[in-house]
Structure 1
């Protein structure tokens, strides 16, 4: 494997190691879907839990 291929594999596999930012991304995607009229019904409380978790993890730096 050449060094160029190794760098490409590393870049492709690197999504995020920061769980707070990952949860924030999930929150923003779900919130955006709600703006288009997607209805999650009573499971909407999960959005608040995701937002709370994202805020906590970002504050503690994880």
Structure 2
């Protein structure tokens, strides 16, 4: 998969979806995981909205 600057929002969104699903299935002791997921969601949403 090639990552270019024009299509960065969609891979970030995919990573967010995978991480959110894994958190529900597996107990992961990562501090501030909710904050990390929130920032990832905001970044991917903004990039998709800006069509980047």
The TM-score, its normalising length taken from structure 1, stands at 0.67
Higher RCO (C-alpha 8 Å, min separation 6): 2
What is the alpha-carbon distance in structure 2 between the residues aligned to residue 38 and residue 25 of structure 1? 20
RMSD: 1.5
Structure 2: any 5+ residue segments left out of the alignment? none
Moved over 4 A (4+): none
Radius of gyration: which is bigger?
A: 1
If each structure's helix is expressed as a fraction of its own residues, which one has the higher value? 1
Structure 1: any 5+ residue segments left out of the alignment? 1-13
